[in-house]
Amino acid sequence: MAETLEVTIEDRIARIVFNHPESFNSMSIEVIHGMARHFQALAVNASVQALVITGAGKAFSSGADLKSVAHDQRPPSEILYSMASVLHQSVIELRRMRKPVIAAINGIAAGAGFSLALACDFRVMAKSAVLRQAYTSWGLCIDGGGTFMLPRLVGLARALEIAAFDPPITSDMALQWGLVNKVVEDGQALEAALAMARELADRSLHSFGRVKELLTNSLSTPLEVQLENERMAIHSCIVHPDGIEGIMAFATKRKPVYNRNVGSQAG
């Protein structure tokens, strides 16, 4: 997988790079399998406190490699069904991961690349980059968690507009609609995402993991259950070293130092 999916870890930050620029970083079934494996491994890697995903060249990812699907001897339905299954496992791993995940959208993010970017916790987008859901323009249906994340980010009416008309979404539109957190100059998306990752790595990983879990589950959880989940989560934070450190730092008016004893998970 090294030639099309590069993974490096440096100073607590893992970096995953789609490295197939000649195809605008399209995702083959092998790349999608590699993503799932790497996400699982990074979730329990004690040396990793944040993850940045980006693409080489001019694209983040143009989505599934439909050319290989069209030329494969197997029925397209069989291939896409298998690809969707593994892609969805990757999305589940990202949403379960109690570590911040940032998409550095350096160029076009379309199809599965669009859905994957939305599945990340934060998105930094280059000024000239473009988002496209793309699926419906080719007679397909959005997968990769796109139909879950879109209405939560932009509302149902806007999500349906994006699904029905497949407009190219510029960085200005993406920022205005709430699809991305920050827009930066071209060539700066990765560095801006890494800077965000470093800042997050200095904050409490345990606290972030608990809040991410609560927010992810909130829209499908009844109020009473959500309140009980909050009560259990804040208790787990209070007794955690980061929580103890935070309270002591507040009381003594100093800056807290977190993640001194980071384990294999944030919780």
d(CA 134, CA 141): 9
Q: pLDDT per residue over 78-122, tens digit each? A: 888 889 999 999 999 999 999 999 999 999 999 999 999 999 999
Residue identified by tokens 């993010």 is: 109
Q: Transcribe 202-216 into DSSP letters.
A: TS-HHHHHHHHHHHH
According to CATH, the topology of domain 5-201 is: 2-enoyl-CoA Hydratase; Chain A, domain 1 (3.90.226)
**Range list of H helices, the chain:** 29-43, 66-71, 76-96, 112-119, 146-154, 156-165, 171-177, 189-201, 205-218, 223-238, 241-252
pLDDT reported for residue 68 = 74
Residues of the chain with CATH 3.90.226.10: 5-201
Q: How confident is the model at residue 29 (pLDDT cuts 50, 70, 90)?
A: confident
DSSP assignment letter at 239: T
Share of the chain above pLDDT 90, in %: 86
Q: How, if at all, do strands 122-126 and 13-18 pair? A: unpaired
Q: How confident is the model at residue 73 (pLDDT cuts 50, 70, 90)?
A: confident
List, in sequence order, every residue forming a beta bridge with 50; answer none if it has no partner: 13
Residue identified by tokens 């069989």 is: 78
Mean pLDDT over 206-232 rounds to: 95
Q: pLDDT per residue over 145-196, tens digit each? A: 999 999 999 999 999 999 999 999 999 999 999 999 999 999 999 999 999 9
pLDDT at 266 over 50: no
List, in sequence order, every residue forming a beta bridge with 182; answer none if it has no partner: 124
Share of the chain above pLDDT 70, in %: 96
Task: Give yes or no for a contact between 131 and 110, defined as CB atoms under 8 angstroms apart.
Answer: yes
pLDDT at 211 over 90: yes
According to CATH, the topology of domain 205-252 is: Lyase 2-enoyl-coa Hydratase; Chain  A, domain 2 (1.10.12)
Q: pLDDT per residue over 187-203, tens digit each? A: 999 999 999 999 999 99
Q: pLDDT per residue over 122-136, tens digit each? A: 999 999 999 999 999
Q: How confident is the model at residue 3 (pLDDT cuts 50, 70, 90)?
A: low
- To the question of pTM greater than 0.85 for the whole model, the response is yes
Task: Give yes or no for a contact between 49 and 259, defined as CB atoms under 8 angstroms apart.
Answer: yes
* Dihedrals phi, psi of 17, to nearest 5 degrees: -120, 120
Q: How confident is the model at residue 36 (pLDDT cuts 50, 70, 90)?
A: very high
Q: Transcribe 171-222 into DSSP letters.
A: HHHHHHHTS-SEEE-TT-HHHHHHHHHHHHHTS-HHHHHHHHHHHHHHTTS-
d(CA 49, CA 199): 11
Task: Give yes or no for a contact between 16 and 52, defined as CB atoms under 8 angstroms apart.
Answer: yes
Residue identified by tokens 């160029």 is: 107
Residues of the chain with CATH 1.10.12: 205-252
Cβ density class 90-105: b for 16+ within 10 Å, e for less: bbebbbebbbbbbbbb
pLDDT reported for residue 264 = 41
pLDDT reported for residue 237 = 97
